[in-house]
Structure 1
Amino acid sequence: MIELNLPDMTCGHCASTVAKTVALVDPAAKVEVDLDSKRVKIQSAEDRQDFAEALTDAGYPPAQ
């Protein structure tokens, strides 16, 4: 399970964009977006760094 904190995720549109971005990296990934805590949980065999880079490119860089 990959868990990322996305401080720039502030609304439903952001959450939708995050879910779509994860799907671009791995269409089979299971995604849980928690807008209140600004966290996303991803169940995937892909590398955490691949998701971090894609989310950064989409405007939602994970906090370190």
Structure 2
Amino acid sequence: MYRYKVDKMGCGGCAKSVTRAVHGIEPDARVEVDLGAKLVTVSDAAGPAGSIAQAIAAAGYPAQPLGTTT
């Protein structure tokens, strides 16, 4: 499970864009968005955390990896 801080994310549309970006490279991933905390948690992803952060950033939302959780 990967966690990211996404400071530019502020609305439901942003959350959908971020989720869509993650699913673009990890179709089976589970994405949880906490808009209040500006956090994104990605579970069941096979790829590296960096590629997910790059996909989120490419959607216009720079993402800071916060590491993995169990």
| Bin for the TM-score computed over the shorter chain | over 0.9
More strand as a share of residues = 2
**Tell me, what secondary structure is at the counterpart of 2:42?**
strand
Gaps of 5+ in 2: 66-70
Aligned length: 64
The residue that corresponds to 2:28 in the other structure is: 28
Gaps of 5+ in 1: none
The root-mean-square deviation of aligned C-alpha atoms, in Å, is 1.0
Query: Separation in 1 of the partners of 2:28 and 2:55?
Result: 16
Determine whether 1:18 maps to 2:3: no
Moved over 2 A (4+): none
| TM-score, structure 2 normalization | 0.86
The residue that corresponds to 1:61 in the other structure is: 62
